[in-house]
Structure 1
Amino acid sequence: MVGRIPILDVGPAVDCGRRPAKAVTGETFGVSATVFREGHGSIGAGVVLRDPAGKAAPIVTMRELVPGTDRWGADVTVTAEGLWQFHVEAWADPIASWQHDAVIKVPAGQDVELMLTEGALLFE
């Protein structure tokens, strides 16, 4: 089932994910995924890397690789030997959505008071 923010085509993947990707200790490698949502709201995405003991490292924020392509990526580094795992998470980003709208509307004098009120409510 695909959710409201689908995450597709996650890589690296070997043999369509049937085999583990490989890296050596200290190696940095890229993780990428296609991440999008319905509508015009902004999103964020990140990689969660789990060490061989199953402990999750802090999320590594992904960036859109080429604006408008829905392809996101980040670099992560394995720090010890063993079987590591990773997954990609995505979320709605209401602050980025508001900022995008405010940058357009405020200089144009459109809904300035409303935009400032909405922004203030986001930070309460």
Structure 2
Amino acid sequence: MERPAPLVFAELASVLGQAGFEFRGTQEAGEVLARHGDAVHVVAAWNGALSGAPGSDWQVAQLARVSALLGARLVGEDGESYAIRDGMVEQVNGSAVYEFGKLDEILSAGPTVWSR
């Protein structure tokens, strides 16, 4: 995640709590968690900055939610960005836009791991 101002733990904790995310760890290092059904899943790692390695559309959607709430931009390893626009999760790479799908449907479907 990229944003103009550095992210401090107090801001992270406040936003996560308001949005229904959980945090496990310390102010120095930990994990951002999201629930689906009875299970809790890791969405991002915290070590003074947030980062994630999504393995499902659900995780991308959760990372996009966290990014938006923090006023940040979710950027992939190849420079593409991810965002939520009009209820759709999108990947943007230059002028090309790929729609993952509707946010609510992706979140309802849960963290089904991508097949390789």
Smaller-chain TM-score range?
A: under 0.3
Q: TM-score, normalised by structure 1?
A: 0.24
**1 or 2 for the larger relative contact order (CA 8 Å, sep ≥6)?**
1
Looking at secondary structure, tell me which structure has more helix per residue: 2
Q: TM-score, normalised by structure 2?
A: 0.25
Larger radius of gyration between Structure 1 and Structure 2: 1
